[in-house]
Chains A and B, each alone.
Chain A
Amino acid sequence: AQKITQTQPGMFVQEKEAVTLDCTYDTSDPSYGLFWYKQPSSGEMIFLIYQGSYDQQNATEGRYSLNFQKARKSANLVISASQLGDSAMYFCAMESNFGNEKLTFGTGTRLTIIP
C-alpha cells in the first residue's frame, strides 16, 4: 500500500519569500512517480511538478522545484519568490509505475501568502 504524509496543515509566508512544503511517502514499489498539485479556492486541481523515482536530478518547473531525497522518502516542494496568487491548498501525490494508474494523495497543506 502507498501512503503520503503531509504534516503541515497550514503555513503563512511573507510575499517574495521562499517556502518549502513537506511531503513524505511510503511504498514498497521500486518504481514510482511523485506529483504536486495546487488547488485554489475554485476547486480545480492544477498540476505543478513531477519527479520520477529514477530521475537523477531534482525536477524544476519555473518557480517550483522538488527536493527529492529518495533514501529519506521525501519529496518536498519548494516555491521561490512567493506571490499572492500562490495562496491555495497544495497536495503531494504518488503513483506506482507498475500499471497502477491511480494517484494516492496526502491531506494537503494550506498555504497563505501575506502581502
Chain B
Amino acid sequence: GAGVSQTPSNKVTEKGKYVELRCDPISGHTALYWYRQSLGQGPEFLIYFQGTGAADDSGLPNDRFFAVRPEGSVSTLKIQRTERGDSAVYLCASSSPGTLSGANVLTFGAGSRLTVL
C-alpha cells in the first residue's frame, strides 16, 4: 500500500484479555518497528524486525509482549494478560535503508490506540 496501515485503530479490552495489533508496512520496506506512546510522552521503542527476524527486542517491557513477522511483511504485536498500564498508542513504522543520505527515515502508521479497562 501507499503508507503504513495499522489495525485496529482503536481497541478497548478488559484487564487480563489477549490483544493482537496488526501492522502492514510499505511494500518493499525490509525494516519494521513497533513503538509505544503513552499519553504526553514521546514514542518508546519496543522491537525492530529486519526481514522475518527480530533484530532487536530490547524494548519489550516483559514476556507478556510478543511480536511476529512470519513472511517479512505484515507484523502482529501480541499482548497477553493485558494490564491497565498497557493502555497507550502502539505505533508501527517501516523503512528502507539509504533513502536519505544514509539516514534511516521511518514512515509511521497512524497507530492503534489500546485502552485496557
List A residues at the B interface (Cβ < 8 Å).
4, 33, 35, 37, 42-47, 50, 52, 91, 93, 95, 97, 100-108
Residues of A within 8 A of B104 (CB): 33, 95, 101
User: A101-B48, A107-B40, A107-B42 given. 8 additional CB < 8 A pairs?
Assistant: A33-B103, A43-B113, A44-B111, A47-B107, A50-B101, A101-B33, A102-B45, A102-B59
Minimal Cβ-Cβ distance residue in B for A34: B103
A42 surroundings in chain B (CB, below 8 A): 110
A28 to B56 CA separation, bound complex (whole angstroms): 20
Interfacial residues of chain B within 27-81, with CB under 8 A of chain A in the complex:
31, 33, 35, 40-45, 48, 50, 55-56, 59
B71-117 at interface with A (beta carbon < 8 Å): 89, 91, 93, 100-111, 113
Q: Complex Cα distance A109/B42, Å?
A: 10
* Chain B residues in 8 Å Cβ range of A4: 42
Interface pair A52/B45, CB less than 8 Å apart = no
| Residues in B neighbouring A50, C-beta threshold 8 A | 100-101, 103, 105
Which chain B positions have C-beta within 8 A of A103? Answer: 35, 43, 45, 106
* Nearest chain A CB to B1 CB, angstrom units: 14
Query: Do residues A52 and B102 form an inter-chain contact, with CB atoms below 8 A?
Result: yes
Complex Cα distance, B48 from A91, in Å, reads: 20
- Judge whether B41 and A107 touch: CB under 8 Å: yes
A-B pairs with the 9 shortest C-beta distances?
Answer: A105-B42, A45-B108, A102-B45, A50-B103, A44-B110, A43-B111, A43-B110, A105-B43, A91-B42
Task: Report the minimal beta-carbon distance from A99 to chain B, rounded to whole angstroms.
Answer: 9
Decide: B106 and A47 in contact? CB cutoff 8 A: yes
Contact of A45 among B41, B43, B55, B100 (CB under 8 A): B43
Cα–Cα distance between A107 and B55 once the two chains are bound (Å): 26
Q: In whole angstroms, how far apart are the Cα atoms of A103 and B87 in the complex?
A: 21
Q: Which of B42, B93, B105, B108 contacts A106 (CB 8 A)?
A: B42
